[in-house]
Structure formats: structure tokens, C-alpha cells
């Protein structure tokens, strides 16, 4: 473990896997780590993970990070299980480096299971709707994404719709209601509200480069 790498990537989501794959193709020595015992939640991240491995990248799953080591304001390595992996750059999502990010708001995301196509979409099996903010008296847009069973993401005859917005009031579920009305009736829905975290700086001095996550792709833990 006491080796030196050009860069370490923390997290096994799609963005992180794309970065590690591309970096490895460029012949950089990459260590890609995640605290979970599996790759990203979809097959696509696994494809980029394999690309990274083919070009010499190293993967370590089920490896919680004990400490990110910083000297003179610059990151030099991570410690796990008593050993240190040294590197020149760190790439990660905000949840991996909470001391280096700040909260700028919240995002509410709703995943809905439907047994019907959405009205006025010509029964398309996948699409995105963006509701302009001035139509719903908001400061930012409302995003609706729908994927059908034709894409092999749901059971036969089922559709999955995802709605996401940045929270602007103390009643986020009321804010998202206009979008949910487009989907009715819904068989089941899962709601999550997560903090929107952004890096405190660009990372040019610390060499910690923190990914920004769009509203529709924030990691989600759901509640019924």
C-alpha cells in the first residue's frame, strides 16, 4: 500500500469512474477507492472501472478512508487500515471531504414508479421535461426525467420518473408538487432531501479537486 500514485479517485459513481478510466488511458498511475464493497449503482460505471483496470489502474473497494493527509496546505496521501497511499492529486465527491466543502442549499429529489406513460409525451420511452422557473414562480427550473421498461430499467409496463429541484422555501415537497402533478397517478414514490455541497476553493493549491453534482444526479437515499 505504501506506494505513490499520480492521483487518487474517491467514490465509484459514474463521474468518478469516467475520470479514473480516462486518466488511466493517459498512462497516469491511478488508485480508485470506495468505502462500499461494490462499484457504482449502474453497469455504465463498471465499464469505465474496467477501462481503468485494463490500463493499469488499481481498484480498492470496501475501504473506508481513515484520514486525508495534508502537509503545508497540500494533500499528499490517504490513510487506510494503518497504511498510507501517497499521490499528487485527489479527485472526489463532496461527501468524501466534508471539511473542504460548504453547504449552499438543499435539493429535493423524488423517484416515482408509474404504470402509465406521462400525458402529452406521445408515449415516448424516455425524455426530460424542464419547467421554466417563471411558470411555477421559482428562481430555478424544475427537472423531470422519465425512463420506461423499454430501457430495461423497470418491470414490464412500468415507468420510472425522477423529479429534482433546488429547495427555495421551508416547504420543499410543496415546491415540487407542480411536477408531481404531471406524473399522476403514481404507484409509489420515494422522497429524499439532501444538502447541496460545493467546494470552498478550486483546489489548485491543495490539489483536492471536488466534483460538483447537478441536481438530477445527486446521490439519493430514499424514504417512502
pLDDT of residue 186: 92
CB 149 within 8 A of CB 157: yes
Residue with cell 459514474: 14
Residue 71: which of 58, 60, 54, 84 has the closest Cα? 84
Q: Which residues contact 185 (CB under 8 A, 6 or more apart)?
A: 114, 116
pLDDT in tens, the chain (224 residues): 556 788 878 876 767 777 777 777 777 788 877 776 655 555 556 666 777 777 777 777 777 788 888 888 898 888 888 888 888 888 888 888 888 899 999 999 999 999 998 888 888 888 888 999 999 889 999 999 888 888 777 888 899 999 999 999 999 999 999 999 999 999 999 999 989 898 999 999 999 998 876 655 444 433 33
pLDDT of residue 16: 77
Sorted by where each starts, the structural domains of the chain and their CATH numbers stand as 4-92 (3.50.50.60), 103-195 (3.30.519.10)
Residue 218: which of 4, 45, 14, 61 has the closest Cα? 14
pLDDT of residue 35: 73
Amino acid at each position: 500500500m505504501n506506494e505513490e500514485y499520480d492521483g487518487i479517485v474517491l467514490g465509484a459513481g459514474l463521474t468518478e469512474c469516467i475520470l479514473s478510466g480516462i486518466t488511466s488511458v493517459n498512462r497516469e498511475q491511478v488508485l480508485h477507492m470506495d468505502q462500499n464493497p461494490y462499484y457504482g449503482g449502474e453497469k455504465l460505471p463498471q465499464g469505465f472501472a474496467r477501462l481503468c483496470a485494463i490500463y493499469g489502474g488499481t481498484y480498492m473497494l470496501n475501504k473506508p478512508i481513515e484520514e486525508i493527509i495534508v502537509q503545508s496546505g497540500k494533500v499528499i496521501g490517504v490513510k487506510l487500515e494503518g497504511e498510507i497511499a501517497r499521490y499528487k492529486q485527489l479527485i472526489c465527491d463532496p461527501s468524501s471531504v466534508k471539511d473542504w466543502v460548504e453547504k449552499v442549499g438543499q435539493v429535493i429529489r423524488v423517484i416515482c414508479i408509474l404504470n402509465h406513460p406521462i400525458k402529452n409525451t406521445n408515449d415516448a420511452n424516455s425524455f426530460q421535461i424542464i419547467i421554466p422557473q417563471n411558470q411555477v414562480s421559482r428562481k430555478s427550473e424544475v427537472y423531470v426525467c422519465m425512463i420506461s421498461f423499454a430501457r430495461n430499467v423497470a418491470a414490464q409496463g412500468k415507468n420510472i420518473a425522477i423529479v429534482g429541484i433546488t429547495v427555495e422555501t421551508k416547504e420543499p415537497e410543496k415546491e415540487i408538487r407542480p411536477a408531481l402533478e404531471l406524473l399522476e397517478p403514481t404507484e409509489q414514490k420515494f422522497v429524499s432531501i439532501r444538502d447541496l455541497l460545493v467546494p470552498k476553493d478550486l483546489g489548485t493549491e491543495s490539489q483536492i479537486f471536488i466534483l460538483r453534482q447537478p441536481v438530477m444526479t445527486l446521490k439519493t437515499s430514499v424514504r417512502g
